[in-house]
Amino acid sequence: MKVVIATNNKNKVKEFKSILNNENIEFLTLNEIGYHKEIIEDGNSFEENSLIKARQVSKDLGCIAIADDSGLEVYALNMAPGIYSARYSKSGLDEDNNNLLIKNLKGIKDRRARYVCAITIAYPDGKILSQTEYCYGLIIDEKRGKNGFGYDPYFYFEDLDKTFAEISLEEKNKYSHRAKALRKIKELINEDFSIK
């Protein structure tokens, strides 16, 4: 069975493939399948945006499509950057996004934050499965670690006393918002994917 992962973000693809990993499924990214049509993510929530992506790809290709929409919510910033996490700064580069985040948190003691991930699977017959999960942490001022992507060097995870950039992908897959949502989705689609 072919399943299209509706993203070209290499880091996300790695996380998707390592968790959903199943010998009966061939996972293909949008690049791999040659799908280059623009997807306009104009939803008002993570859930809406992941639905938009999965539904469009599934309809256009007539296959099962899985999409996520994720981001960082910071309590002291009224849950910003939220759905705008990827384009928080003008350039949208990780370094600029992080610098802006730290600047906006200057002098603020409350550093509570959470990563959010909404995952949607769209089937060609219109069936939809979705799941949202969270991962809680604190934003620190000095970056730590070289792994991961996005806000990971500044996202301190108390349970491990490390940032998400200081842990391996295997460890991140135990705790991350995306990993938790993917595991729940995997349970939901057990039958369709013939996972024993």
Give the phi and the psi of residue 22 in degrees, each rounded to 5.
-155, 135
Q: Tokens at residue 27, please? A: 């996972």
Question: Among residues 64 and 115, whose Cβ is nearest to ligand IMP?
Answer: 115
Active site residue 69: yes
Of 155, 145, 56, 146, give the one whose Cα is nearest residue 113: 155
Alpha-carbon distance of 104 to 112, in angstroms, equals: 14
Binding site for ligand IMP (CB under 6 A): 9, 69-72, 85-86, 97, 115, 148-152, 164, 176, 178
Question: Smallest distance from the beta carbon of 77 to ligand IMP, in angstroms?
Answer: 14
Question: Among residues 28 and 179, whose Cβ is nearest to ligand IMP?
Answer: 179
Question: Among residues 64 and 73, whose Cβ is nearest to ligand IMP?
Answer: 73
DSSP 145: -
Of 66, 45, 172, give the one whose Cα is nearest residue 119: 66
Give the bridge partners for 128, in sequence order: 122
Question: Among residues 61 and 83, whose Cβ is nearest to ligand IMP?
Answer: 83
Question: Smallest distance from the beta carbon of 118 to ligand IMP, in angstroms?
Answer: 9
Question: Smallest distance from the beta carbon of 146 to ligand IMP, in angstroms?
Answer: 13
Which is catalytic among the residues 42, 60, 68, 69?
Answer: 69
Residue nearest to ligand IMP (CB): 150
Question: Smallest distance from the beta carbon of 52 to ligand IMP, in angstroms?
Answer: 11
Of 54, 96, 46, give the one whose Cα is nearest residue 71: 46
Q: Among all residues, which ones are annotated catalytic?
A: 69
